[in-house]
Structure 1
Amino acid sequence: MKIRKAAVLGAGVMGAAIAGHLANVGIEAYLLDIVPRDLSEEEKQDRKARNRLAQAGKDRLFKEKPSPLYDKAVADLIHVGNLEDDLDQLRNVDWIIEVVVENLKIKQDLFEQIEKIWKPGMIVSSNTSGISINQMVEGRSEEFKKHFLGTHFFNPPRYMKLLEIIPGESTDPKLVQYMKAFAEEVLGKGVVLCKDTPNFIANRIGTYGLQVTLHAMEEFDLGPDEIDVVTGRAMGRPKSATFRTLDLVGLDTYMHVCNNVYEHVTDKEEKEVFKASPLLKRMVENNWIGSKSGQGFYKKVKTEKGKEILALDPKTLEYRSRKKLKANSLDQAKRGKTLAKKLQALIYGEDTAGKLAWYITKKVLLYSANRLEEIANDIVSIDQAMKWGFNWDLGPFEIWDAIGVETSVARMRAEGEKIPRLVEELLAAGKSSFYEKGDNGVKFFHIGGQFREVQENEKVINLAQLKAQGKVIKGNSGASLIDLGDDIACLEFHSPKQAIGPEIITMMNYAVKEVSANYRGLVIGNQAPNFCVGANLMLMLMEAQDYNWPEIDMMVRQFQKTMGSLRYLDKPVVAAPFGMTLGGGVEVCLPADRLQAAAETYMGLVEVGVGLIPGGGGTKELLFRWMDGVDPKDRVALQPLVNHVFMAIGQAKVSTSALHARKYKFLRSCDGITANSDHLLYDAKQVALGLAKSGYKSPQPIRIPVVGETGYSLMKLAAHDLMLSGYISEHDYKIASKLAFVLAGGNVPEGTVVSEEYLLDLEREAFLSLIGEPKTQARMQYMLAKGKPLRN
């Protein structure tokens, strides 16, 4: 089995986005939809008119934010068509994904058409969010059924990690395993295998929790804004909490998902929970369906003070100013050092917020345990589905462990709740948690009263687990050097926001010596929310405000020297960036022999946002990447390349993905991209091993041709024009001028070849002069306080 080409049938929001994500990972895709029913007789003969719906779906990919595409150029891999003229094209694909309207009869009819052109071995799947997989292929051949399964993507497909795979009764188990591996490794998904039940796992549990919260709004007499204060980050869930999430999803879509469960479950009590509330029905009737209609539980309005977000009063159905629920339990939760402590403080609180959190949590935990055998193979599947599909920090059974199984069950019993069999079995076995650490990793409690090992993918390297196993070579408060096995070491940043300070630089220097002496290679990576957001801005600002220029000069020199040590280490260095990789984070990556970046990597030298230019070698390194291989005598070629660097740094360009980072040469063609961030360290380790096995030799010192005084004048002139046009401020112009001077190589003739040390000196001098500027210090202070740049 190998998927090289695919076809997506249905070019609505999900269908087009799935085609977009296939293109993201390099898979050519046909995007087909029906022929519009309102065509004139003339248009019926026009292919463009007949493909209009599919073309509209493709066009939408360029407009949506956040973008469904890693880079706009990947859209060239998507070919539009229609289901009448282009059905024969499906003979050329390896995978057909059905994403048409959620109507069983329409799907059945489509699969009947598909089988007529179907070739043995071709994979066919449905992206249904809840219709029975087995019912869809009733009447199809057994061979077709063997190659059919459900592949439920979550929206938006590029960003949502969960992919639910639902085998049918006849699906070939080998196909299921292949699709699981393909989805994880190529599409970058977290895969959960589901049973063919209404709404599968994530939507079944998730919509139940949302319904319970809607009921709680009435029972506790609270507004959506007050409930969202509790059900967001305080409970380890996304900031969008409950009602902002519903607005984003769309209340009409949400009602459809609820109705699907309501119509297909037989338990009366469960059925009642999924029954749409009168409030929800009224809102959908009024077209108050959320963000796409401009109002839902929230509404953005213009006021004299600017824009204001109002909240719906569920009693009057009028919008009012938002209220923020205040409670001691919320304050206590904020002080908790771990998520478990935060949850305990909130859920066991005696005030309104605590009682609300307990009410919702209790219902969801009991429901998850009661429905386990029906919808999932094990508790791990439910926990992963909720974390990957709804962005919860912990899944239901992990939450149960966090708040204490014995304590919570005792309270549930006191409140008259019936405890599920699985939980009773756990307690009867003398256990107090659903998960425990085993000899080879983590074990989970399984149906039937047994603990089983969590089957970890060999490509998932867990740094926390390695540290617990005593694999730390050396560490301090900012970073650790960890043994990854096979004589490869990993330098992990763990300072706040992975900001680079003296502790990290100390550990980097230690890592260089230790790896040189005892290891085959070095990987630089971590498993925090982001790779690195830059240097320790607060430390630099404090030194500047104290006029401690010698200390700042020493720090910058030390950082530059350390980056040079990485570049010329006699063992291969592989950086593994992901998420926000900004400023100093980029400067750590650029000297590495290779980058193995997560697909979702946002790289940029953004120092101008705080009134500076890169000071740790970033300017020099990016210039080298653009000038590498250029003939110094080819003066016509030099200036345009330098201009690219000038714009990238001067405008603080940040890539929208790892693929897009290649546009700025933050990544080169030799650097790799990993779709699944869970596999990133494994892939980086393999690259380091490969370089070591191939007889690695450290690079030779570099010399760079520069554009000199002529190029400097041209760049300054361009910046001056922008200032006169009002696009940049006087201080922006000053920063741009300093940057241009460094990139031009100072006052030397055009075509002069200069050394690294020469450029580093220019870079450091520019950095030091700018950090002494009051307006730069104001920018630094504003960034620290507000988290966004100040334009002064």
Structure 2
Amino acid sequence: MSNKLLVRRAAVLGAGVMGAQIAAHLTNAGVDTVLFDLPAKDGDPNGIAAKAIANLAKLSPAPLADKALAERIVPANYETGLELLKGCDLIIEAIAERMDWKQDLYRKIAPFVPAHTVLASNTSGLGINKLAEVLPEELRHRFCGVHFFNPPRYMHLAELIPARTTDAPVLEGLETFLTTTLGKGVVYAKDTPNFIGNRIGVFSMLAAMHHTEQSGLGFDTVDALTGPAIGRPKSATYRTADVVGLDTMAHVIKTMADTLPDDPWHQYFQAPKWLTALIEKGALGQKTGAGFYTKKGKDILVLDLKAQDFRVSAGELDADVAALLKEKDPAKKFAALRASDNAQAKFLWACFRDTFHYTAYHLESIADTARDVDFAIRWGYGWSLGPFETWQAAGWKQVAEWIADDIVKGKAMSNAPLPDWVFDGRDGVHGTAGSYSPARNAMVPRSSNPVYARQRFPDALIGEKFSQGRTVYENDGVRMWADEGDDIAVVSFKTKLHTVNDHVLNGLQEAIAIAERDFRGLVIWQPKEPFSAGADLSGALGLLQAGDLKGFEAMVANFQATSQRIKYAQVPVIAAVRGLALGGGCEFQMHAARTVFGLESYVGLVEAGVGLLPAGGGLKEFAVRASEAAGPGGDVFAQLKTAFESVAMGKVSTSAFEAKSLKVARDTDVVVFNAFELLHVAKQQARALAESGYRPPLPARRIQVAGDVGIATFKMMLVNMLEGRFISPHDYEIATRIATVLCGGEVDRGTLVDEEWLIKLEREHFVALAQMPKTQERIAHMLKTGKPLRN
């Protein structure tokens, strides 16, 4: 039997927060989706599901990659809609976490589930084998757990939990679908309470809470210690609890207490008194406006246990501890933490020690390999390194000795011994041969599922090395490389945030020349986000302040020449974009033969924010596209409106789909859901274009422009905004010049111009704006604060 899972249509059972968002993400991915809930008491029987769908537009961050997708989701109910299940290839159950409710629902739907369909439960911790017991024999082979993390569009982790009866090909097919179609990182978990991510993640929060009590540190101080300072998200410990909901947090802790009676740490599976007290008061965190934190005016206040009241949150790291955490060598850092008498350092060592201890003790029962644990925590909790990676980086043997020593001295939370394999002479659990599996007592390589062949650079664990390819050409701005025997080359930027300076411009032009000579295509791709934050502003401002106008104009001309070189290259140049593609970074991809976007691409021409207009060919390209779309004698102005608003307001897309509606991406551009597959797809696009006899477009010599009438029409909109004080006089100046370039200058409507004309206009207006004091103030302010100045 083939292990390909073809999902033409999917159903999600349960229209609560998670169910509705899973349905939204399936729809983002182009899967026809039905969302079920209970029948409404009155009115439309599908009312509950329909209301949940309508509510998706209000959620932040947005579950839908494009608001218009909401109407594609089909609402249904369990009384009148079960026939719809007969057309579904995948059914995901996401109702409330109650075994009896879930089992009742399974009995109800079983007669309607087709013989090939996969049924999965999105439970966050109930027993998968126990759930399977009520299913008919033939359905048990196609049933498993698939646990998405919240919010499902953005969290990379999906835990796949096989039941004893699940067929291997079903799992492999579902893993492929989750990876490529939904863009997830799949980790296999064993059927144990809370699986891997929440079992370890929640324990690490419980350990932090326990040590908060022991150390007497404030909640804000603990958050300062357990956030970015140690490579974890800004929300750290208590802010995370507020976001999740303190009632939810208490429920998860209670589930651990009820389902893990034999866990050596069981005595800690209870909500601290202050957590219970907050819940009793109805302070449940963000959803009620107060938890550990609350907002008063502009101030963030934190609960002070001693004063039994809120105070302004300071959350200062002790200077010594802050210095210690900046140490680059993890071994030195951990030695210093362990040796310090500082209360904050003691707190951190204790949290690390108890999390390492817990994770090593339970590894064999919860996961097949250490890889699964580290990825579950990285992808599900946003840690930059998983617990085993952190331990290995700090020196496996030394840290293991320290933990063992603390256990003997009664300092650790539990006196359970570390497992024997920790001390078998190893230097860690990850290496070039794979990651350690206690059950097999072997290093196990990565999955052989063919879907992973699409990831040239998968998310790397410590100790893993992937070939960087052969360097073809390199300068201070870019590196061009190719894999042995590959006919598609890749070029990546070496600058901070992949900004564009002269080295990048010259390097790109050189790379294209080499690609034309020696390769069949070129991909512009960055190993890490962002794609590019745009032009190097500090370099540009330096030239202006030194009064070097000629040098400044030459840089702008070189930028435009590079964009044109991308567009008219004799081999296809593909842009592979994920994360930010702003300003010049956005213009480069506009000139590529095609762009492949990761779903999470934040694209826009934001120059207006620093008092400039796009001058890397972006406005010229809009004018060319508008002329082509309007056709001879057509209405060019109508085609320009969206582009003008996007540029004048400095709009940035919140997804690749939105980039298309803002017109900074083309309808023909490709969207990829798994960022780790971006390079693979971009190379395939380059190859496909090359195979089909690629030629660059012919130079645009007859571009019909909107002219003076177009400029006047845009100005009317702007005057209203100026008088209503929505924009400042300088904003008006910038926007008028943007309109002037887009409309081809003060010429008659319908005049035919060429690209050179538009490029020159762009450059003239850009240089004029750059010399204005208010623009220079904006640039300086942006460089200093990272925020736009409204002047």
Partner of 1:559 in structure 2?
559
- Alignment coverage as a number of residue pairs: 773
Partner of 2:788 in structure 1?
789
Which secondary structure does the structure 1 equivalent of 2:432 belong to? Answer: strand
Partner of 1:695 in structure 2?
693
User: How has the CA–CA distance of structure 1 residues 511 and 728 changed in structure 2, closer, same or farther, with 3 Å as cutoff?
Assistant: same
Matched, 1:451 2:443: yes
Partner of 2:411 in structure 1?
none
Asked whether the equivalents of residues 332 and 345 of structure 1 are also in contact (C-alpha less than 8 Å), the reply is: no
Deviates more, 1:110-119 or 1:347-356: 347-356
> After superposition, what is the alpha-carbon deviation per residue over 1:694-714, rounded to whole angstroms, capped at 9, x for unaligned?
111222112321111221122
User: How has the CA–CA distance of structure 1 residues 350 and 509 changed in structure 2, closer, same or farther, with 3 Å as cutoff?
Assistant: farther
Which secondary structure does the structure 2 equivalent of 1:413 belong to? Answer: helix
Structure 2: distance between partners of 1:476 and 1:346 = 41
- 5 Å-filtered alignment, 1:469-548, equals 469=468, 471-485=470-484, 486-548=486-548
| TM-score normalised per structure 2 | 0.94
Partner of 1:669 in structure 2?
667
Among 166, 172, 179, the alignment partner of 1:171 is: 166
> After superposition, what is the alpha-carbon deviation per residue over 1:121-168, rounded to whole angstroms, capped at 9, x for unaligned?
111111111011111121322111111111111101111111111111
Structure 2: distance between partners of 1:347 and 1:683 = 47
**CA apart distance, 1:348:** 6.0
**CA apart distance, 1:339:** 7.4
User: How has the CA–CA distance of structure 1 residues 585 and 340 changed in structure 2, closer, same or farther, with 3 Å as cutoff?
Assistant: farther
Code of the residue aligned with 2:727 in structure 1: it is I
**CA apart distance, 1:665:** 2.5
Code of the residue aligned with 1:696 in structure 2: it is Y
- 5 Å-filtered alignment, 1:649-664, equals 649-664=647-662
Matched, 1:299 2:291: no
Deviates more, 1:416-425 or 1:68-77: 416-425
Partner of 2:352 in structure 1?
361
Matched, 1:154 2:149: yes
Partner of 1:577 in structure 2?
577
Among 47, 51, 56, the alignment partner of 1:52 is: 47
Asked whether the equivalents of residues 234 and 333 of structure 1 are also in contact (C-alpha less than 8 Å), the reply is: no
**CA apart distance, 1:329:** 4.4
Identity between Structure 1 and Structure 2 (%): 38
Partner of 2:136 in structure 1?
141
Partner of 2:9 in structure 1?
5
Matched, 1:391 2:391: no
Partner of 1:247 in structure 2?
242
Structure 2: distance between partners of 1:317 and 1:94 = 54
Structure 2: distance between partners of 1:388 and 1:466 = 20
User: How has the CA–CA distance of structure 1 residues 423 and 484 changed in structure 2, closer, same or farther, with 3 Å as cutoff?
Assistant: farther
**CA apart distance, 1:319:** 0.8
> After superposition, what is the alpha-carbon deviation per residue over 1:291-319, rounded to whole angstroms, capped at 9, x for unaligned?
001001100112xxxx1110011344311
Runs of 5+ in structure 2 lacking a partner? Answer: 409-413
**CA apart distance, 1:428:** 2.6
- 5 Å-filtered alignment, 1:196-215, equals 196-215=191-210
Structure 2: distance between partners of 1:362 and 1:588 = 48
Structure 1: distance between partners of 2:356 and 2:435 = 20
Asked whether the equivalents of residues 327 and 352 of structure 1 are also in contact (C-alpha less than 8 Å), the reply is: no
Code of the residue aligned with 1:530 in structure 2: it is P
Code of the residue aligned with 2:80 in structure 1: it is D
User: How has the CA–CA distance of structure 1 residues 344 and 79 changed in structure 2, closer, same or farther, with 3 Å as cutoff?
Assistant: farther
Which secondary structure does the structure 2 equivalent of 1:757 belong to? Answer: helix
Structure 2: distance between partners of 1:73 and 1:207 = 36
Among 27, 30, 52, the alignment partner of 2:31 is: 27
- 5 Å-filtered alignment, 1:342-357, equals 349-357=340-348
**CA apart distance, 1:643:** 2.1
User: How has the CA–CA distance of structure 1 residues 788 and 146 changed in structure 2, closer, same or farther, with 3 Å as cutoff?
Assistant: same
> After superposition, what is the alpha-carbon deviation per residue over 1:572-611, rounded to whole angstroms, capped at 9, x for unaligned?
1110111111111101101100111001111100100110
- 5 Å-filtered alignment, 1:332-351, equals 332-333=323-324, 335-337=326-328, 349-351=340-342
User: How has the CA–CA distance of structure 1 residues 420 and 402 changed in structure 2, closer, same or farther, with 3 Å as cutoff?
Assistant: farther
User: How has the CA–CA distance of structure 1 residues 340 and 657 changed in structure 2, closer, same or farther, with 3 Å as cutoff?
Assistant: farther
Partner of 1:433 in structure 2?
428
Deviates more, 1:319-328 or 1:2-11: 319-328
Which secondary structure does the structure 2 equivalent of 1:590 belong to? Answer: helix
> After superposition, what is the alpha-carbon deviation per residue over 1:362-387, rounded to whole angstroms, capped at 9, x for unaligned?
11111111111111010000000001
Deviates more, 1:283-292 or 1:195-204: 283-292
Structure 2: distance between partners of 1:22 and 1:71 = 13
User: How has the CA–CA distance of structure 1 residues 664 and 343 changed in structure 2, closer, same or farther, with 3 Å as cutoff?
Assistant: farther
User: How has the CA–CA distance of structure 1 residues 347 and 496 changed in structure 2, closer, same or farther, with 3 Å as cutoff?
Assistant: farther
Partner of 2:304 in structure 1?
313
Asked whether the equivalents of residues 366 and 419 of structure 1 are also in contact (C-alpha less than 8 Å), the reply is: no
Asked whether the equivalents of residues 779 and 789 of structure 1 are also in contact (C-alpha less than 8 Å), the reply is: yes
| TM-score normalised per structure 1 | 0.94
Structure 1: distance between partners of 2:395 and 2:617 = 50
Partner of 1:331 in structure 2?
322
> After superposition, what is the alpha-carbon deviation per residue over 1:677-705, rounded to whole angstroms, capped at 9, x for unaligned?
01111111111111111111222112321
User: How has the CA–CA distance of structure 1 residues 589 and 251 changed in structure 2, closer, same or farther, with 3 Å as cutoff?
Assistant: same
Partner of 1:191 in structure 2?
186
**CA apart distance, 1:470:** 5.5
Structure 1: distance between partners of 2:328 and 2:263 = 42
> After superposition, what is the alpha-carbon deviation per residue over 1:426-484, rounded to whole angstroms, capped at 9, x for unaligned?
5434x32322335xxx6656555433333472111229988855522232343211214
Asked whether the equivalents of residues 36 and 49 of structure 2 are also in contact (C-alpha less than 8 Å), the reply is: yes
Partner of 1:639 in structure 2?
637
Which secondary structure does the structure 1 equivalent of 2:630 belong to? Answer: coil
Which secondary structure does the structure 1 equivalent of 2:574 belong to? Answer: strand
- 5 Å-filtered alignment, 1:34-73, equals 34-36=38-40, 39=41, 43=42, 46=43, 48=44, 50-73=45-68
Code of the residue aligned with 2:170 in structure 1: it is L
Matched, 1:621 2:621: yes
- 5 Å-filtered alignment, 1:713-728, equals 713-728=712-727
> After superposition, what is the alpha-carbon deviation per residue over 1:496-532, rounded to whole angstroms, capped at 9, x for unaligned?
1111112211221221111111111101111223111
Asked whether the equivalents of residues 370 and 435 of structure 2 are also in contact (C-alpha less than 8 Å), the reply is: no
Which secondary structure does the structure 2 equivalent of 1:300 belong to? Answer: strand
Asked whether the equivalents of residues 300 and 308 of structure 1 are also in contact (C-alpha less than 8 Å), the reply is: yes
User: How has the CA–CA distance of structure 1 residues 407 and 475 changed in structure 2, closer, same or farther, with 3 Å as cutoff?
Assistant: farther
Which secondary structure does the structure 2 equivalent of 1:578 belong to? Answer: strand
> After superposition, what is the alpha-carbon deviation per residue over 1:745-771, rounded to whole angstroms, capped at 9, x for unaligned?
112221112111111111011111111
Matched, 1:588 2:584: no
**CA apart distance, 1:626:** 3.2
**CA apart distance, 1:343:** 6.6
Partner of 2:100 in structure 1?
105
Runs of 5+ in structure 1 lacking a partner? Answer: none
